[in-house]
Chain A
């Protein structure tokens, strides 16, 4: 980057510390807006639909799905991988970008991390239902049981999943909470009565002492350093669910990096979708600026290109292996009966993000929003294509079968979106969505920089933010 101070100016408007506190916390102290309630009711309805569908399939059995003897994994596992993938961007933003000292992450890390936690919860629902008897879910853990004790099979990638996703959820949720404590304390000190008592409980007696801050910062750096390899390991482990099986189209060493980059890609697309909505609904235009959107777009075009490279590498590997089965599976993906799904996947994930090379596209929020939705769709289809086409037409043509989802499965997917958005909307309403204490750190640092080189810091963000200065003027007027 040519100007080292460009991203130091994380937020727009020359805000004081008090203004930051006010902007972040006052929405939490007001009643919910009409738009919030509309969104919340819609999300809860979707969640209810999903709950009914889940209750029905648990009651009746997973024979309610479109699975058959050939295609034993399809919709459910697609949803699982889709949601786990979404859950990757939060940790990437809060951990990897922290280690790389990318200050712009400060505005969005809290919300992105919350998104991660909710997405992992949605993901967890699917294997649970797939068990058919979810009340025996605790059998996946190795505990001294009356059956021997019969231990779990440590050689199975499905068990690795349990540990990878369990660890990921635990560490992400606690990392998020640790970062939240100072802001909960700010909320506590603004509140009265019952609200104060509740916030006092959750802010754990935080008093902003320098000793605590010092430990807090050390803890955040350590957790970021731990979460970075963790985030890479989680989707690598998920990919081994497929890669360790000797099924053409699954059995590839490419899978772990391919899945990880796909997860980052889809996660960032979801971050973009949510942030574009949140900044409008919650009026955080000064905090989630055009520069943030631009930065996420650049990550998208980068990861999207690598995803494209991975698709092409799969084809190359199939051809180069000279295995007729591998070659067939790849051809079948493109021109077979579900070739349309491949078409959606390739155009949404590889072609569409290339538009983000153009600044005009990145600056148009509506275009970017539509683009992010397309990537979400494309990444869902990627998992569907990988999972179901590889199974449907295997080694034995007499066993070939096709797969069509039932309404129950579709209702479950809608329900998972309902769960996700219900949790996210509750988060926006009750938890400070912007990491206020971190924003204050960045502001203080910028003032320190201003003292050294005022013209460099002041001139930095002006050129690429035409919209933001307008916002400031509107506020002033």
Chain B
């Protein structure tokens, strides 16, 4: 299956948001918005769900904490107990700093790698950049007419009315 993707480039956040509203009103499906900085409120308009990174963070933290506590206990009480200044094998208070640091380390790494893998930000990835101006000062909207009956002429009118400086379209295969 394939779909026709329409791209439009705008010079300001306000124009992009206005165009986004009219696309929604016309029943177009919003595929993506690309911008040089995060635009507030665009998530809801484009139907982007909330990020689940906080869950990854919590899981990473819990794993880090448990691992640190278990490992310190196992090495110093079970595998090779060594008397250090007469302190008990299981010196829990002394294990707190390392347990804390590993909690932070695992939580932080889960967030970072969660972000990189979910957003496919990896060395060698090329991204879907169609116009280099979106990392400078332009805002791009990608929509498709999947469920909306809208003529080509109506599409052109829509872009012209919303002040797009550049438009293009291509056909994309979808799995």
Contact = CB atoms under 8 A, between A and B. Distances in A.
Interface of A: 16-18, 21, 142, 148-157, 159-160, 163-164, 166-167, 170-171, 174-175, 178, 181-182, 185-186, 188-190, 200-202, 204-219, 222-223, 226-227, 229-230, 233, 237, 240, 437-438, 440-441, 444
Contact of B32 (A166, A170, A185, A209): A209
B123 A164 contact: no
B128 A209 contact: yes
Contacts of B108: 167, 170-171, 174-175, 223, 226-227
A154 B75 contact: yes
Interface stretch (B2-10, B21-29, B39-47, B145-153): B39-47
B168 interface: no
Contact of B97 (A149, A163, A175, A185): A163
Interface string B48-78: 1011011001000000000000011001100
Contacts of B42: 210
Contact of A216 (B34, B101, B119): B119
B53 A219 contact: yes
A215 B118 contact: yes
Interface residues of B, number: 65
Interface in B122-175: 122-129, 132-137, 140
Nearest to B42: A210
Given A155-B91, A167-B102, A215-B53, A440 B122 contact: no
B34 A207 contact: yes
Contacts of A200: 126
Contacts of B34: 207-210
B7 to A, nearest CB: 12
Given A151-B80, A163-B101, A181-B121, A437 B37 contact: yes
Contacts of B114: 219
Contacts of A226: 57, 104, 107-108, 111
Nearest to B64: A167
A110 to B, nearest CB: 15
Best-buried of B76, B79, B137 by chain A (most CB within 10 Å): B137
A96 to B, nearest CB: 15
Q: Which 9 A-B pairs have the closest CB atoms?
A: A205-B125, A189-B132, A207-B127, A17-B137, A205-B127, A151-B75, A213-B38, A204-B121, A210-B33
Contacts of B18: none
A57 B96 CA distance: 36
Given A142-B71, A207-B134, A210-B34, 14 more contacts: A21-B137, A155-B76, A166-B101, A167-B101, A208-B129, A209-B34, A211-B32, A212-B121, A213-B35, A215-B115, A215-B118, A226-B107, A229-B104, A240-B97
A175 B129 CA distance: 24
Contact of A170 (B51, B98, B105, B129): B105
Given A17-B137, A233-B97, A237-B97, A171 B123 contact: no
Best-buried of A164, A204, A227, A233 by chain B (most CB within 10 Å): A204
B136 A219 contact: no
A233 B97 CA distance: 8
Contacts of A205: 120-122, 124-127
B135 A189 contact: yes
Given A18-B137, A214-B43, A444-B37, A206 B121 contact: yes
Nearest to A213: B38
29 contacts: A21-B36, A21-B136, A142-B75, A154-B76, A154-B98, A155-B87, A157-B97, A160-B101, A167-B102, A170-B108, A171-B104, A182-B36, A190-B136, A204-B116, A205-B124, A207-B134, A208-B129, A210-B42, A210-B46, A213-B39, A218-B51, A218-B53, A219-B112, A222-B54, A223-B111, A226-B57, A226-B104, A230-B101, A441-B37
A21 B132 CA distance: 13
A211 B50 CA distance: 9
A178 B111 CA distance: 11
Nearest to A188: B135
Contacts of A437: 36-37
Contacts of A170: 105, 108-109
A164 B97 contact: yes
A215 B51 contact: yes
Contacts of A153: 82, 84
Nearest to A160: B97
Best-buried of A149, A207, A218 by chain B (most CB within 10 Å): A207
A232 to B, nearest CB: 10
A64 to B, nearest CB: 31
Nearest to B11: A17
Contacts of B124: 201, 205
B136 A17 contact: yes
Given A154-B91, A214-B51, A17 B36 contact: yes
Nearest to A184: B135
